[in-house]
Structure 1
């Protein structure tokens, strides 16, 4: 069985401002290791039998994608350029068309380009379990085994007994309140919604035709009328612009009767904030994560990332400091979710 990776690289990653911003969002940054996050995403599949990776991205990121993917693989990537953002379902549909050009029976693994997974072997085993389900005609999502009652993630509910490593996908649930999250955790039936999927490309297209026929037709048209531009495939702008954008969850996964869940307990994190980065990285004796040229005196439980200059802190606790070439973030870890508001304000300033 050949598995074709589909990597979604259209996100802006504004919650990791000021490093993730504009033309250089978080998937192109080295935040965990010496490899960038998009590189880590593809390298996570090393050792499995995979075809040429398909990366879906925007026009402005095409050269970064080509460079960074080219640095880690000899396989020729298929780089699909989305004319504009239309959410995940149309991007995946076009990528499935590209996968079927490689192999009409292709099984694809759809991965966001900005996640962290600590245990690669466990992840790969889950991919193979999901791929076997996909060959039977299932649309498989990975349910992350929850470790605490998170109100920041959506959930998926499994029903029935485990069969060949998979459960029936009963329903998706939006981000819950704390009380509901605690109920979900205690029940053992709910997992965090990972946003990662495995299915046959043809099965996805057939389900899209069933539930979103216009989106399916326009996505296929956008691919069939695409133009080659050296190392890139430009989806047809006229067709793509007519698509009413939607996520794969809403368009397909919440409607299909073919949904399955493979549970994954592999140290997953979607790196949605600087606090999330602090949580998953090794800390010093003061519970600090320190990157770059930093002097931290009497400073505890903090994430401090220096840039070109020295960062010095004295007598601080529970803070985030991130220095970039042109901006400096200083925030309480408890308020770090509001970084997105800073990014929105920066956009307004640029528009003036």
Structure 2
């Protein structure tokens, strides 16, 4: 990479859709859901080495101990006084970096199977970011997914990437199938690259109060070793909003780098099942001929596309299709794969 990349790792959210394994005390990013290391540790690993600066992690107070437990020695941590969604979190980081710094914004809880493809996309995005672009990573869709937003590709940009024709909200199944059939649509993976000063300028143009509040929170904040504490009173006045709504859907400087890299946001138990089947995780023994995967003691008879994840009790299933069973301590979840998106609505998940 010709440009030094500054990884900005966002550790937010409670991961309720992966209840009961994901809990408030140890949510999804910090769990070894695929392989031996956590999703957060895997994110740090693929954003390290030649061409990368030490990571800057943004997390809430309740997750500081977990970030320190799993982080790297050269890591710096911004401790958010309150949860305000992605745009304010990124604004805190942008105000701590020099204007020319190229930021690579990554969620801490996504899975990327092909690190080489990811790094090639980062190199392309960094080149566009150096020219003043705000770059989104467009994930090559492999099905008519209704759980993600989409980005329609515009005209090609000389040197790589393309313009963004439009952002599309999460579609219904019919529209998702139409997008897939038409081509030229990618999933919005929530990964971005831009210069710190470019982001600050565009945020000030479209969300001036947010930009001013985040800048003031940083100016009045203080370092405590490798931890930065923004001013809580100033940050409390900042309204929460995603980077998509606050900046990316408004700016005239947006660009897209399409990439196929085996990406998943692991946003549900069914998504985790699919990632485990695709990856052949050694801890799971890989999928059997009927597409079943099991972690922990399990016996599956005449089952298809079943996932069992148990931390102790033996689980026995007979004649099931597209069912997920999770045992975590004294909590048991049984759901169809189709119902997995609604796990976060359970009382147990909301009480965690």
SS in 2 for 1:285: coil
Distance 1:249 1:263 in 2: 17
Q: Are 2:144 and 1:187 aligned?
A: no
Structure 2 stretches of 5 or more lacking a match? 281-286
SS at match of 1:99: coil
Residue 188 of structure 1: how far off its partner (Å): 1.9
Q: RMSD in angstroms over aligned alpha carbons? A: 1.5
* Per-residue Cα deviation, 1:141-175 (whole angstroms, up to 9, x for no partner): 00111111221111111111342221011221101
Which of 268, 274, 297 aligns to 1:273? It is 268
Give the alignment partner of residue 98 of structure 1, picking from 78, 92, 96: 96
Q: Corresponding residue for 2:283? A: none
Aligned residues: 341
Contact 2:144 2:180 in 1 (8 A): yes
Q: Which runs of 5+ in 1 are unaligned?
A: none
Name 1:319's counterpart in structure 2. Answer: 323
**Cα distance, 1:22 vs structure 2:** 0.9
TM-score, structure 1 normalization: 0.93
Alignment of 1:47-126 (within 5 A): 47-70=49-72, 74=73, 76-100=74-98, 104-126=99-121
Inter-partner Cα distance in structure 2 for 1:297 and 1:303: 13
- 1:163-312 aligned at under 5 Å gives the runs 163-281=158-276, 282=280, 283-312=287-316
1:41-52 mapped onto 2 (5 Å cutoff):
41-52=43-54
Measure, in 1, the Cα distance between the counterparts of 2:84 and 2:120.
Answer: 32
TM-score normalised by structure 2 residue count: 0.93
Equivalent residues of 1:54, 1:99 under 8 A apart: no
- Tell me the residue number matched to 2:29: 27
The CA deviation string for residues 313-342 of structure 1, in whole angstroms up to 9 with x for no partner, is 233222111111231111122211221111
Write the distance in 1 (CA, Å) between the matches of 2:176 and 2:341: 19
Q: 1:48 touches 1:124 (CA, 8 Å); kept in 2? A: no
Counterparts of 1:188 and 1:162, CA distance in 2: 18
CA distance in 2, matches of 1:130, 1:246: 24
